[in-house]
């Protein structure tokens, strides 16, 4: 009897690389280096309660947020692993106030990476789901060194993007060349094995993910959209079911597989609409690229995330992301209410 087995991540990436005759293999190595960082973080999370790595680090980041020990650990692992790849000239992280530049010579590092090293850190100490989010851009600036110009590119320039979900299992999902594929970590092999080939998000969804405790602070179109999702104002359409885990990555993964919409809107403060909490570079743009490759959409309500040109490394943006039909309903409500 012939024993077949699933391809590993590197085998799959190399097989995809055949579609690019000029490819040098650097991109494949970089992708597997990011997966390596995910394996190391996954292992640490699974034993964090025993290893003393739960709780606060005692430090506060430039946004005044208290930093968890695991936030720091995950960020350090990504910095070291990306530097070790010698494929990256500059990287930026949600956990770092300034980008990190890596030694690179004339020919070397032609990639730029942005990451949210540990998404959902309010879940770390309660064994909740967590994630990491990444995007890889080509280097566009002249000269050997990377610059802020390389980091502030529109998501449409992304070469590949993805996320890692740390839940009951650890799943690595990446999008490139119009295809989204998922790999589950086989802890026996220590390898990510293909488990979700060619993911396509359902056109219309079953779930919605939003922190409804902010309802009173939202503008009218946002409230009307959530009323529609709840079925209280959907003209009899079957309501979506609410799921909110505290981790965008975990909620997004459910929506990618089963359809629906995640939103983190801005709030009305002093008559003005804020930009919400999520970061354009580290959260919204990478996931917008992934959902778009899978047939979904990502919007601020009035602008498509993929077309946005970032102006600041830590810029925040309202986000509505998921099944195309659901996102379009939200945009329609915004358009109708003239916002
Ligand atoms: P943290 O990583 O700071 O916990 O933020 C997680 C997150 O960016 C996203 O993953 C969650 O969906 C959202 O924020 C949770 O924010 P609220 O606690 O305001 O709902």
Residues 137-153: tens digit of each pLDDT: 999 998 888 999 999 99
* Ligand 1 mean position, distance from CA 95 (Å): 14
Distance CA 244, CA 204 (A): 18
With a 6 Å cutoff on the Cβ, whether 209 touches ligand 1 is: no
With a 6 Å cutoff on the Cβ, whether 130 touches ligand 1 is: no
* Pair 329, 225: CB distance under 8 Å: yes
* Ligand 1 mean position, distance from CA 258 (Å): 21
Assess whether pLDDT exceeds 60 at residue 105. no
DSSP state of 300: S
- Output the CA–CA distances (angstroms, integers) from residue 215 to 197, 223, 308, in the order listed: 37, 7, 26
Distance CA 99, CA 91 (A): 6
pLDDT for res 104: 65
Output the six-digit token pair for 279: 């970061």
With a 6 Å cutoff on the Cβ, whether 211 touches ligand 1 is: yes
pTM of the model: 0.96
Atom nearest to 123 CA in ligand 1: 4
Q: Which of 55-59, 108-112, 180-184 has the lowest mean pLDDT?
A: 108-112
Residues 218-277: tens digit of each pLDDT: 999 999 999 999 987 666 667 799 999 999 999 999 999 999 999 999 999 988 899 999
Per-residue confidence at 107, pLDDT binned at 50, 70, 90? low
Q: Whose CA is nearest to atom 16 of ligand 1?
A: 246
Atom nearest to 118 CA in ligand 1: 2
- Output the CA–CA distances (angstroms, integers) from residue 19 to 6, 35, 93, 183, in the order listed: 20, 22, 31, 20
With a 6 Å cutoff on the Cβ, whether 122 touches ligand 1 is: yes
Relative orientation angle of helices 324-336 and 220-230, to the nearest 10 degrees:
140
Q: Which of 34-38, 59-63, 149-153 has the lowest mean pLDDT?
A: 59-63
SS3 string, 89-147, reads EEEEECCCCCCEECCCCCCCCCEEEEEEEEECHHHHHHCCCEEEEEEEEECCCCCCCCC
Residues 260-295: tens digit of each pLDDT: 999 999 999 988 899 999 999 999 999 999 999 999
pLDDT for res 23: 74
Assess whether pLDDT exceeds 70 at residue 36. yes
């Amino acid at each position: 009897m012939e024993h077949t087995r699933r391809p590993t991540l590197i085998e799959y990436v190399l097989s995809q690389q055949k579609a690019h005759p000029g490819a040098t293999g650097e991109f494949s190595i970089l992708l597997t280096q990011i997966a390596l960082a995910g394996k190391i973080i996954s292992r640490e999370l699974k034993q964090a309660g025993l290893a003393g790595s739960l709780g606060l680090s005692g430090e506060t980041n430039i946004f005044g947020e208290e930093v968890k020990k695991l936030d720091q650990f995950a960020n350090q692992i990504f910095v070291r692993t990306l530097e070790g790849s010698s494929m990256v000239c500059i990287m930026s992280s949600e956990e770092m106030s300034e980008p990190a530049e890596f030694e690179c010579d004339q020919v070397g590092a032609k990639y730029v990476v942005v990451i949210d090293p540990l998404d959902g850190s309010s879940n770390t100490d309660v064994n909740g789901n967590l994630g990491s989010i990444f995007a890889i851009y080509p280097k566009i600036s002249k000269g050997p060194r990377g610059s802020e110009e390389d980091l502030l590119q529109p998501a449409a320039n992304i070469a590949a993007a993805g996320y890692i979900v740390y839940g009951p299992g650890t799943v690595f999902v990446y999008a490139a060349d119009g295809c989204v594929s998922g790999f589950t970590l086989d802890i026996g092999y220590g390898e990510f094995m293909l488990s979700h080939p060619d993911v396509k998000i359902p056109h219309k969804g079953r779930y919605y993910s939003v922190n409804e405790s902010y309802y009173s602070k939202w503008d009218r179109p946002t409230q009307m959209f959530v009323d529609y999702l709840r079925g209280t104002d959907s003209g009899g359409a079957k309501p979506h079911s609410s799921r909110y885990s505290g981790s965008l990555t975990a909620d997004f993964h459910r929506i990618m597989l089963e359809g629906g919409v995640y939103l983190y809107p801005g709030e009305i403060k002093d008559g003005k609409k804020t930009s919400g909490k999520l970061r354009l570079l580290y959260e919204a743009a990478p996931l917008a690229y992934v959902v778009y490759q899978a047939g979904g959409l990502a919007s601020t309500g009035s602008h498509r995330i993929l077309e946005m040109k970032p102006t600041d490394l830590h810029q925040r943006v309202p986000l509505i992301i998921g099944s195309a039909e659901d996102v379009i309903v939200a945009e329609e409500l915004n358009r109708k209410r003239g916002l």
